[in-house]
Amino acid sequence: MRTAVLKGIKNFAIEDEPIPITNRDEVLIRVKACGVCTSELYSWNGKHKDVSFPQYPGHEPSGVVEKVGKNVERFEPGDHVAVWSDGRSYAEYVKVPKDYVVKIPEDIPFEMALGEPIGCAINGVRRSSIQLGDIVVIIGCGFMGSLIVQGAVLRGPSKIVAVDLDNDRLRLAKNLGADVIINPKENDAIKMVMELTDGRGADVVIEATGEQIPLDMASEMTRIRGRLVVFGYHVSGPRTVNMGMWNWKGLDVINAHERAPEVYVQGIKIGMDLLSRGKITMKQLVTHAYPLERINEAFTAADTKPKGFMKAVVMP
């Protein structure tokens, strides 16, 4: 089978490997689509330091069950599935434990059924503990932020404020359910949030960028005893925080990243159910698709973010 191997910075190569052999508790998936994740992008472009090569990334696959092990009862060849994988999914086939597979309706396009990022966003919303009537601020309205906006809508807040530097993304956030949109290049975002909340601050602020300045903004925007949710993927060294402010406000600071596979899968199940019932949408979010041979182009698009870009998928 063909598989993409990251040989070095900005250097994927396509190699031939044997199709994986599944054991009795595993499922072999013919990969139809695999999303490009920011965590992998930073290995590709060198933002991650001390990375060794070769690497076999790809953890956002969907596809068709090709073969099941003797102990697998819930799936059979031909089933359409979303999968949690720890890598090796930029390939024609990937094998995973049976508990990491979630069946999906056949009418959902594979490029839309990216279970891992949807599950990640759903788990982030669940960790945020948004309550009925809360005022929620979401900083960063890229692909993941757009999913979070949709998840936040389902929790019943009184108001969702979307903050981003890109007006196209803000307009999309508005279409997905945000009540107020703010571009910090055009307006003082902290001042506007404080005015919208009568000087109190937001009940929940979700930082979905992974950068220092938005993290600082989130600290300022969160009300006393509010919840500051760190969802963005943070790399490139330590961050600084105003611990005096955090302490004085009595903030609940929540790390919304999950690392337990069973929690990931639970989020995928919830997300796929919401997607199948039209409660969330992936339309307008997956904007770029590439065959496996053009995987370096997919990562270049994710890195440079041309106009209109939200998410790239590789389709073996």
Integer angstrom CA distances of residue 12 from 55, 90, 234:
9, 10, 24
Two tokens at 299? 């990562």
**179 in the same domain as 214:** yes
CA 265 to chain centre: 14
The pLDDT tens digits for 92-111 are 999 999 999 999 999 999 99
Does 132 share its domain with 224?
A: yes
For residues 191 and 304, state if they share a domain. no
Looking up residue 297, the CATH number of its domain turns out to be: 3.90.180.10
Q: Specify if 272 maps to a domain.
A: no
Residue 235's pLDDT is 86
Note whether 234 and 304 are same-domain residues: no
Residues 106 and 129 in one domain: no
In this structure, the answer to whether residues 186 and 227 fall within a common structural domain is yes
Among 214, 234, 255, the domain boundary falls at 255
What are the tens digits of pLDDT across the range 32-53?
Answer: 999 999 999 999 999 888 889 9
Q: Does residue 263 lie in a domain region?
A: no
Residue 219 is predicted with a pLDDT of 97
Per-residue pLDDT at 214: 97
Considering the domain architecture, whether residues 149 and 83 belong to the same structural domain is answered as no
Amino acid letter, residue 109:
P
53 and 93 belong to one structural domain: yes
Query: Does residue 273 sit within a domain?
Result: no
SS3 for 214?
helix
| Residue 66 counted as domain residue | yes
What DSSP letter does each residue of 72-99 carry, written as one string? Answer: --S--TT-EEEE--SS--SBSEEEEEGG
Instruction: Say how many domains are in the chain.
Output: 2
Residue 262 is assigned to a structural domain of this protein: no
What is the domain extent for residue 246? 121-255
Backbone angles phi, psi at 94, to 5 degrees: -145, 145
Segment holding 314, helix H or strand E: strand 312-315
CATH of the domain at 239: 3.40.50.720
- Relative to beta strand 61-68, strand 80-83 is antiparallel
Q: Which amino acid is at 156?
A: G
> Within the chain, which residues score under 70 in pLDDT?
none
Co-location of 52 and 176 in the same domain: no
Residues 152 and 91 reside in one and the same domain: no
- pTM reported for the whole predicted model: 0.95
CA distance 316 to 295: 10
5 forms beta bridges with 13
**What pLDDT score was predicted for residue 269?**
98
| Structural domain contains residue 267 | no
Question: Do 129 and 243 sit in the same domain of this protein?
Answer: yes
